[in-house]
Structure 1
Amino acid sequence: MNGNPYLEAFGWLADPVHWSGPSGIPMRALEHLGYTALGVFVAALIAVPIGLLVGHTGVGKGVAVAAAGAARALPTLGLVTLFALMLGIGLSAPLLSFVVLAIPSLLAGAYSAVESADPATVDAARAQGMTEWQILSRVEVPLGMPLLVGGFRGATVQVVATAMLAAYVGNGGLGRYIFLGLGSQDYPQMIAGSVLVIVLALVLDLVLLLTQRLTAPRGARTA
């Protein structure tokens, strides 16, 4: 290819042909978002309750921290390949990988959110006769909500950045452009796919950053 692949990538993005149909950018972006949302949602069902329990009781914190650290070290591509060999081609393999990838941030965000509550405030709530569930749901979680949202922010950015691997085992998403370009040596298409993933990750990160700031207790919000 004689031209500049980066300039050609922006030409590829500007081509109206790539913005329509089942293989167009909007549909691929929706698929990518769907994979991300599903992975983070399933991971949250597992990690957030455990993290809240660990943060509230202090029981098992060492195990939770060690497990989260070990999960962070796992290579996502290796997990996708391993699960694909076990489960076959389809969404199950990348989804399991995304769940494993998202759990550490969600777990850390959940127990850090509860631990961040002022002990004096928690003791005052307990002295007023609140149950442990009421203290958790009405005091600790609201006060630590920015950290909890921060856990979702970290998990979402990590998953959306690696959801392109869904295309590695035959699924869609923006990663489809990258793997199709790799197979046909269409480098502008590969670069365009990478740019789309980066833009999507930045947009989601900004949205969750604003959400994180808006959920801060009044008086603790920064400009």
Structure 2
Amino acid sequence: MQELWNYMVDNQAQIWTYTLEHIQLVGLAVVIAIAIGVPLGIYLTTNDYLAETVLQMANVMITIPSIALFGIMIPILSLIDQGIGFVPAVIALILYSQLPIIRNTYVAIKNVDPHIRDAAKGIGMNTMQKLRKVEIPNALPVIMAGVRQAVIMNIGIGAIAAFIGAGGLGVLINQGISRSNTTMVLAGAIAISILAIAVDLLLGLFQKKMTPKGLE
């Protein structure tokens, strides 16, 4: 234990650098995933047949082992000289994020109290106004729960992205395995766990702050 502590203290600058790389990788992927998944989840509430198809596809995607997905993308993205590194890692994390974000958005909008919708319609709101002022605010806690799930999942999957040269805290685990250095592996694993817990707490506070008073 003392050896692990000494390693983390002696290499704190390097660990911090890898942490920032990890945050950048996961953060960019989740922002793009939200930009895709939330509008898609909202749209799917108008088409149940398409919703079932899309959610099934997202379910299949999340069952593909991450290392296999990286392996599939290497020859494809090599056509544009991006077979390894940051780009395939971001694409993979975007794909893995889609299920919790789309599903939670779809379910949250679908389950908004119909009486609230009727009240909004009764005061003259059009479809977009109902969505923006009534449905999304009421659905926000469930949507945020999906985003939190996607972020925490991607922090873990992001560690595997180090095996294709994407950087991040997974580098410590990768190098530790290749050198048979248990201390490095543990340092990487602990750093990833701390990052996941810290981000989850921050997102939980943000979710609480964004939740309408009447839904708390």
Fold match, TM over 0.5?
Answer: yes
Alignment of 1:108-147 (within 5 A): 108-147=103-142
- Contact 2:89–2:166 under 8 Å retained in 1: no
- Contact 1:117–1:140 under 8 Å retained in 2: yes
Q: How far apart, CA to CA, are the structure 1 residues paired with 2:100 and 2:200? A: 14
- 38, 55, 68: which one aligns with 1:48: 38
TM norm structure 2:
0.91
Does the alignment pair 1:152 with 2:147?
yes
Q: What is the aligned partner in structure 2 of residue 3 from structure 1?
A: none
Query: Any idea what the Cα deviations from partners look like across 1:105-141, whole Å, max 9, x if unmatched?
Result: 1101211221231101101111222111111111000
SS of residue matched to 2:108: helix
Amino acid at match of 1:48: V
Q: What is the aligned partner in structure 2 of residue 97 from structure 1?
A: 92
Alignment of 1:11-50 (within 5 A): 11-15=6-10, 18-20=11-13, 24-50=14-40
Q: How far apart, CA to CA, are the structure 2 residues paired with 1:81 and 1:68? A: 19
Superposed CA RMSD: 1.5
- 164, 169, 174: which one aligns with 1:169: 164
SS of residue matched to 1:100: helix
5+ residue gaps, structure 1: 1-5
TM norm structure 1:
0.88
Amino acid at match of 1:68: A
Does the alignment pair 1:193 with 2:185?
no
Q: How far apart, CA to CA, are the structure 2 residues paired with 1:86 and 1:143? A: 41
Query: Any idea what the Cα deviations from partners look like across 1:134-154, whole Å, max 9, x if unmatched?
Result: 111110000111011111101
Give 1 or 2: higher helix fraction: 2
5+ residue gaps, structure 2: 78-82
Q: How far apart, CA to CA, are the structure 2 residues paired with 1:163 and 1:123? A: 44
Does the alignment pair 1:74 with 2:64?
yes
- Contact 2:37–2:101 under 8 Å retained in 1: yes
Q: What is the aligned partner in structure 2 of residue 206 from structure 1?
A: 201
Q: How far apart, CA to CA, are the structure 1 residues paired with 2:16 and 2:109? A: 38
Report deviation, 1:164. 1.2
- Contact 1:164–1:175 under 8 Å retained in 2: yes
